[in-house]
């Protein structure tokens, strides 16, 4: 069987390679960077004194493609999370704390109990989600729900920003409904949050590289694709600068690049180009917070400030701000000051001394998931006879996440073998 060349070793390229190599196909993976993982990577940070991730990545038990991928590469046990779906929240302005606990079955009984509902919300606020189910392709989340009420501020806005990395005023209502349908609508067992136990690399990247090498795949780093040579409606060669690769008859090419990179090598490709940033920070606390508190807040949603999610692993606190268009323009020092003040408040820690903080800005974390951009997501199959697309931004029907990247890689592998 002819070789498949995959360009881009992010999760879409890795997932595609794992599927193909696992079924005996000859695979070559070409990656521009010196490491795999793309937007989902880890590295040792001397200031914090441990391996950190470029961004906190939350996955869910509903992410079936991710779980299947982890199973294939032998890393299923490297994701950890609470045995039940529980989402504690804190309103930084009022100090109010509450916990969202989805019900076990498909009927969301919790929304009918005032004690279990989010404070100041009503049953009708939750039933409004059905408006998302009937949203048209041009509708934004804010067109379907009621901006400004407590439910908006405490549930719809944080959920939309976390899932779509796009403000609800412009985020696609249909895409948010897809998330709800695959998670909350299936009950508690589909909503369990999961994070990498040690690092993203240790869970999602390194075991995949080990799997690929064990299955005879070739993996090349520091190979940036500059151009593709075309003839007869197909790719005939890959230009990596000093290194050129001619594609033999029958060989296939999977372009698993971010949308900008894909558009630069594939003339005429229409892809969503506008991006939204995510800002993350990692803080090393002088000591782990008191045990009782730590048990409650391995994951904490924050309302009414700048920080949106706080993750706690021992003495390392990691913070996430999605759809961070305004924040990303501020200096790292300013960001660190704001995020530390909120962390100290949330964890009831003294404000000084300020511990070491690493701020990471990802300006192009995902594409802007607006209705217009969602319509431009291309399918895996292209009009070139031997080129297939993969990437979280392709038309997977799911928001640009690890799940979407892995689904796209799986689809690309299927198209290649058809």
Ligand X SMILES: Cc1cc2nc3c(=O)[nH]c(=O)nc-3n(C[C@H](O)[C@H](O)[C@H](O)COP(=O)(O)OP(=O)(O)OC[C@H]3O[C@@H](n4cnc5c(N)ncnc54)[C@H](O)[C@@H]3O)c2cc1C
Task: Please give the residue ranges that form the binding site for ligand X (CB under 6 A).
Answer: 7-13, 30-33, 38-40, 54-55, 57-59, 224-225, 256-258, 261, 278, 280, 362, 365-366, 391-392, 400-405
Q: Report in angstroms how near the CB of residue 411 gets to ligand X at its nearest.
A: 12
Find the helix or strand (DSSP H, E) in which 174 lies: helix 173-182
The nearer residue to ligand X, 9 or 173, going by C-beta atoms, is 9
How far is the first Cα of the chain from the last one, in angstroms, to the nearest whole number?
Answer: 12
The nearer residue to ligand X, 102 or 277, going by C-beta atoms, is 277
CA–CA separation, 290 vs 296, rounded Å? 10
Q: Report in angstroms how near the CB of residue 286 gets to ligand X at its nearest.
A: 26
CB 309 within 8 A of CB 301: yes
The nearer residue to ligand X, 327 or 365, going by C-beta atoms, is 365
The nearer residue to ligand X, 108 or 158, going by C-beta atoms, is 158
- Which residue has the CB atom at the shortest distance from ligand X? 10
For residues 1, 396, 35 and 316, what is the CA-based torsion angle, rounded to 10 degrees? -150
The nearer residue to ligand X, 258 or 378, going by C-beta atoms, is 258
The nearer residue to ligand X, 55 or 289, going by C-beta atoms, is 55
**Per-residue b/e over 137-169, b at no fewer than 16 CB within 10 Å?**
eebbbbbbbeeeeebbbbbbbbbbbbbbbbbbe
Q: Report in angstroms how near the CB of residue 405 gets to ligand X at its nearest.
A: 4
Q: Report in angstroms how near the CB of residue 145 gets to ligand X at its nearest.
A: 22
Q: Report in angstroms how near the CB of residue 140 gets to ligand X at its nearest.
A: 21
The nearer residue to ligand X, 125 or 403, going by C-beta atoms, is 403
Cross-sheet strand order for the sheet of 252-255: 218-220, 27-30, 4-7, 252-255, 387-389
Q: Report in angstroms how near the CB of residue 157 gets to ligand X at its nearest.
A: 17
For the chain, what percentages of helix, strand and coil (3-state, to nearest 5) are there? 35, 25, 45
CB 262 within 8 A of CB 279: no
Q: Report in angstroms how near the CB of residue 193 gets to ligand X at its nearest.
A: 10
Q: Which residues pair with 312 in a beta bridge?
A: 317
Q: Report in angstroms how near the CB of residue 1 gets to ligand X at its nearest.
A: 24
Q: List Cα–Cα distances, 105 to 108, 120, 129, 142, 195, in angstroms.
A: 7, 24, 18, 28, 23
Q: Report in angstroms how near the CB of residue 78 gets to ligand X at its nearest.
A: 15
- DSSP for 368-407, please give it: ---HHHHHTPPPSB-SSTTEEE-STTSS-SS-SSHHHHHH
Full 3-state SS string of 203-262:
HHHHHHHHHHHHCCCEEECCCCCCEEEEECCEEEEEEECCEEEECCCCCEEEECCCHHHH
The nearer residue to ligand X, 58 or 374, going by C-beta atoms, is 58
The nearer residue to ligand X, 6 or 118, going by C-beta atoms, is 6
Q: Report residue 274 as tokens.
A: 């506008």
């Amino acid at each position: 069987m002819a070789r498949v060349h995959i360009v881009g070793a992010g999760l879409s390229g890795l997932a595609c390679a794992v599927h193909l190599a696992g079924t005996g196909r000859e695979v070559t993976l070409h990656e521009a960077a010196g490491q795999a993982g793309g937007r989902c990577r880890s590295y040792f940070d001397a200031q914090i004194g441990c391996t950190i991730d470029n961004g906190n990545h939350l996955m869910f038990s509903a992410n079936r493609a991710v779980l299947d991928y982890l199973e294939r590469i032998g890393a299923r046990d490297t994701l950890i999370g609470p045995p039940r779906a529980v989402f504690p929240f804190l309103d930084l302005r009022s100090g109010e704390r509450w916990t969202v606990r989805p019900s076990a079955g498909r009927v969301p009984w919790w929304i009918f109990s005032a004690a279990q509902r989010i404070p100041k919300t009503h049953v009708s606020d939750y039933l409004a989600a059905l408006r998302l189910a009937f949203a048209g392709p041009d509708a934004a989340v804010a067109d379907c729900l009621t901006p400004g009420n407590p439910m908006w501020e405490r549930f719809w806005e944080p959920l939309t920003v976390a899932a779509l990395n796009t403000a609800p005023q412009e985020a696609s209502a249909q895409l948010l409904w897809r998330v709800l349908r695959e998670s909350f609508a299936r009950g508690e067992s589909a909503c369990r949050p999961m994070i990498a136990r040690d690092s993203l690399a240790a869970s999602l990247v390194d075991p995949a590289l080990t799997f690929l090498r064990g299955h005879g795949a070739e993996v090349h780093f520091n190979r940036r694709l500059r151009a593709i040579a075309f003839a007869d409606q197909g790719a005939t060669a890959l230009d990596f600068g000093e290194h050129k690769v001619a594609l033999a008859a029958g060989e296939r090419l999977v372009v698993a690049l971010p949308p900008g990179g894909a558009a630069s090598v594939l003339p005429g490709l229409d892809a969503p180009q506008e991006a939204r940033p995510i800002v993350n920070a990692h803080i090393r606390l002088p000591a782990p917070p008191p045990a009782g508190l730590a048990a409650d807040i391995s994951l904490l949603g924050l309302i009414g400030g700048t920080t949106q999610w706080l993750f706690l692993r021992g003495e390392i606190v990691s913070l996430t701000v999605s759809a961070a268009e305004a924040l990303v323009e501020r200096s790292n020092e300013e960001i660190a000051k704001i995020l530390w003040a909120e962390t100290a408040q949330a964890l009831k820690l003294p404000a000084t001394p300020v511990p070491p903080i690493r701020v990471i800005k990802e300006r192009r974390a995902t594409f802007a998931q607006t209705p217009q951009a969602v319509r431009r997501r291309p399918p895996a199959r292209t009009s070139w006879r031997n080129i297939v697309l993969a990437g979280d931004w392709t038309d997977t029907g799911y928001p640009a996440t690890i799940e979407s990247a892995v689904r796209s890689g799986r689809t690309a592998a299927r198209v290649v073998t058809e």
